[in-house]
Amino acid sequence: MWRGAAAALLGLAAACLLRRGFEPRARLLSAAELRRYRGAPGEPGLYLALLGRVFDVQRGRKHYGPGGAYSGFAGRDATRAFASGDFTPAGLVDTVSGLSPAELLSIHSWLSFYSDNYEPVGKLVGRFYDENGAPTEALREVEAAIEQALKLQAQSDQKKQQFPPCNSEWSSAKGTRFWCSRESVLLGLNCNRVSLSVPSGGVPRAWAGVPRQLHRPGSQGARCVCVRSSGPPWGQPGSSQHSDRGDLDNPHLQQYEGCHPLAEQCVLLTG
């Protein structure tokens, strides 16, 4: 139940961020007026817009001013380019149709960045705000899509916490090795050994786990995940009636043939 409440709070927080700073004090600018704010000599300032919200980016003039790497963003709403990375005239537009959830999350991240680092000065009348400064249906649709993307991300993060990916390596002589660990992992790089203080799968946790194949309904194949082998099953932290096997009894898991059921590593020999 707490996870459902957390998801609800996440959606509320997203809505607050999307609306933060949008309200009454905001000045309304037309597209023609915004084009005057590209930071060139004689122009009144340096602005850009994201999802119709206008920010004063004078502090970042070396990036957004004439000759800067991101000068194409100045004086316009180029929301799509924040997700696509297309800085051509065709890409520096405000339409967000067809963007993936990951791309919408990128826009959300950039909105957070500008809200935290630059002064909001107004709203751009057009796709996302009408002539009265009220949100358009297009903006409401984007906000709903971003909130849905955030929920999907939260669900994905929860799955990674329950079943973090294994570490793996392969060699023609030894086959494939899967392992789970909370300790630092040594990787080879240009004949040097570099220590990375991350657990297997890069997911921080208080347990190492044992390798298992995870099969998802409706998907082909399986992937190696680290599975908690003691305590109550995932989602039942307060339960006293359990077999003290963690998530080993999850029906979507399969043990690797020939590997000890509680070993933290498994080697599959090349056949």
d(CA 29, CA 52): 10
- In angstroms, what CA-CA distances link 151 with 11, 19, 70, 157, 172? 7, 18, 31, 10, 41
Contact between 168 and 267 (Cβ < 8 Å): no
What is the rounded average pLDDT of the residues 190-205?
A: 56
On whether the CB atoms of residues 244 and 262 are closer than 8 A, the answer is no
> What integer pLDDT is reported at residue 191 of this predicted model?
43
Model confidence band, residue 141 (pLDDT cutoffs 50, 70, 90): very high
| pLDDT at residue 193, rounded to an integer | 43
More confident call, 231 vs 57: 57
Report helix angle 101-117 to 137-162, nearest 10: 100
Q: What is the pLDDT of residues 52-106, one digit of tens each?
A: 999 999 999 999 999 999 999 999 999 999 999 999 999 999 999 999 999 999 9
User: Domains of the chain: which residue ranges?
Assistant: 21-157, 163-268
Helix 137-162 and helix 2-19: axis angle, to 10°? 140
Question: Pick from 222, 128, 155, 129: which is nearest to 11 by CA?
Answer: 155
Q: Is the pLDDT assigned to residue 247 strictly greater than 80? A: yes
Q: Hey, what are 30's tokens? A: 């037309």
Give the pLDDT of residue 174.
82
- In the predicted model, what is the mean pLDDT of residues 27-42? 97
| 67, amino acid identity | G
Please say whether the beta carbons of 104 and 149 come within 8 A.
yes
State how far the alpha carbon of 178 is from the alpha carbons of 212, 231, 249, 266, in Å: 9, 23, 20, 5
pLDDT reading at 3 higher than 50? no
CA 27 to chain centre: 31
What pLDDT, on a 0 to 100 scale, did the predictor assign at position 240?
A: 62
Torsion over CA: 200, 204, 206, 211 (sign): negative
Q: What are the tens digits of pLDDT across the range 156-196? A: 777 778 888 899 888 888 889 999 987 544 444 444 444 44
The residue-averaged pLDDT of 22-50 equals 89
Mean pLDDT calculated for residue range 229-250: 80
pLDDT at 259 exceeding the cut of 70: yes
Residue type, 113: F
> For all residues of the chain together, what is the average pLDDT?
84
- Whether domain 21-157 has CATH 3.40.50.300: no
Lowest mean pLDDT among 149-158, 192-201, 225-234: 192-201
- Residue 234 pLDDT: 82
Can you point out the beta strands (E) in 145-259?
167-171, 175-179, 185-189, 192-196, 210-214, 223-227, 253-254
In degrees, rounded to 5, the angle at the alpha carbon of residue 206 between the alpha carbons of residues 260 and 189 is 75
